[in-house]
Chains A and B, each alone.
Chain A
């Protein structure tokens, strides 16, 4: 069973991070206020910043283990990443963007596989377009396709819907939740939005000041909030 196991302690700027969790079949949702350390946690999982202690284990393979002095570089971790503003490569067309991480025998093969991934995401028609011409929702789908095309063993999404227009967010949310469930990759989603957490229907980890305040399903959090902060968080419309 593929799973992503995290136990991390470290500093990011002025913040002390201390996080443990496990993401397996259903997406794990990390929620918390600004400055809670959500993005920094993602950076540590990816290998972009180095925690002081802990381990990152993906499908049983350790990617980072300070006791063994193991720290795989970002390029070798095979973890897909969707940043908040998607960060498509502006100088490449959509097809080349998606094909960037595909290992294939020839360029033709790479682009063919890229086209397939786009098709799975209902985005094949965008293949020849340039990133600057895409709408918010289209950009997101292309970014997702790009991350998936490289066949990652885990997926990290940083506020995947925040950059989208409110009007299309509902449809995109449903689309995303469906696909994530279908791929069953260990996935971590950082979000502000309670509706996102509901749609994704997985375990929720509440982060504040770099530490885990409470974890569980959304319903549990709503029923038995551990602190006033959590109660406020899960009751309001925005998280």
Chain B
């Protein structure tokens, strides 16, 4: 039996009004937010019969969109992991405490901000920006054209658009995770003769693995849902550039049930991905 509450503890609950009001307030506020999030998802999942949903899945839009989405987001994720991990590492190393506020550190801090910019960029803006960089008349347009590469309207353009919007999520997580590493541990590894690549692969990445996996999950989710930039930069062509979100939007204007089935499909895919990454992170 625990000891009787102290005078201070008794004072805190002296007002019975507070005893009711506080849990009530928490309940109301959190309940509102939970409802706001749960109701649309429930509407999505339960407002049509399973037969209608299955019928919606029979639309010819569905399978190409699903395959394209899985393919492009996987490629996007691989690109982001391969390029983002070393970049995150360099940024973390070049901007760490103790390295001072010299011009190099400042440059890397600026680069860090630039690479995290797409997070706050509206997708439509991202689409325009991508066109202005890689479109036929964009900055790199002539060079790409000379090399025989036309990006807009291709599957590659989908990957580019997804990478542009999703990379910052992973990068932020990677930089934060690498920054959190014990500097003594890094130093010891170096005294034991670890070269920079060995340091990254045998110490930094394994130790930071859970955070990196979380960043990868967020990044993948963002790529899955990418719509505006894809529509503008890659176009909307079933089988080539029409990802699930684009298919949903296109279907919405003709058949709500198809759109609903596609939406549930996307939710299932996203959920499966998240579970897979969480499981990988816990390893």
Contact = CB atoms under 8 A, between A and B. Distances in A.
Given A91-B206, A91-B207, A150 B192 contact: yes
A49 interface: yes
Interface in A30-77: 46, 48-49, 73-77
Interface residues of A, number: 27
Given A49-B98, A89-B203, A89-B207, A75 B187 contact: no
A147 B191 CA distance: 8
Contacts of A87: 182, 184-185, 187-188
B193 interface: yes
A236 interface: no
A79 B195 CA distance: 15
Contacts of A77: 191
A153 B126 CA distance: 55
Q: Which of B193, B206, B209 is the most central at the interface, judged by chain A CB atoms within 10 Å of its CB?
A: B193
A236 to B, nearest CB: 28
B195 A75 contact: yes
Nearest to A48: B187
A75 B184 contact: no
Nearest to B208: A91
Given A89-B207, A91-B207, A83 B187 contact: yes
Contacts of A90: 207
Contacts of B192: 100-101, 146-147, 150
Interface residues of B, number: 18
Interface in A76-92: 76-81, 83-85, 87-91
A103 B193 contact: yes
B190 interface: yes
B248 to A, nearest CB: 41
By DSSP majority rule, is chain A's interface helix, strand, loop, or mixed? loop
Looking at A48, A75, A81, A103, the one whose CB has the most chain B CB atoms below 10 A away is: A75
Which of A46, A81, A84, A89 counts the most chain B CB atoms within 10 A?
A89
A76 B190 CA distance: 9
Contacts of B182: 85, 87
Contacts of B187: 46, 48, 74, 81, 83, 87
A129 to B, nearest CB: 18
B79 interface: no
B190 A85 contact: no
A74 B185 contact: no
B185 A89 contact: yes
Contacts of B190: 48, 73-75
B270 interface: no
B191 A80 contact: yes
Nearest to A76: B193
A83 B207 contact: no
Contact of B191 (A49, A74, A89, A91): A74
B207 A75 contact: no
Contact of A100 (B98, B189, B195, B207): B189
Contacts of B206: 91
A177 B141 CA distance: 69
Interface in B173-194: 182, 184-185, 187-194
Contacts of A74: 187, 190-191
Given A90-B207, A91-B207, A83 B194 contact: no
Nearest to B194: A75
A181 to B, nearest CB: 22
A85 B184 contact: yes
Contacts of A76: 193
Contacts of A83: 184-185, 187-188
A88 B189 CA distance: 10
A108 B195 CA distance: 21
A101 B98 contact: no
The residue among B188, B194, B195, B209 with the most chain A CB atoms within 10 A of its own CB is B188
Contacts of B184: 83-85, 87
A150 B191 CA distance: 9
Given A73-B190, A75-B190, A83-B185, 4 more contacts: A46-B187, A81-B187, A88-B185, A146-B192
Interface of A: 46, 48-49, 73-81, 83-85, 87-91, 100-101, 103, 146-147, 150, 152
14 contacts: A49-B98, A75-B193, A81-B188, A83-B185, A83-B187, A87-B185, A87-B188, A88-B185, A91-B206, A100-B189, A100-B192, A100-B202, A147-B192, A150-B191
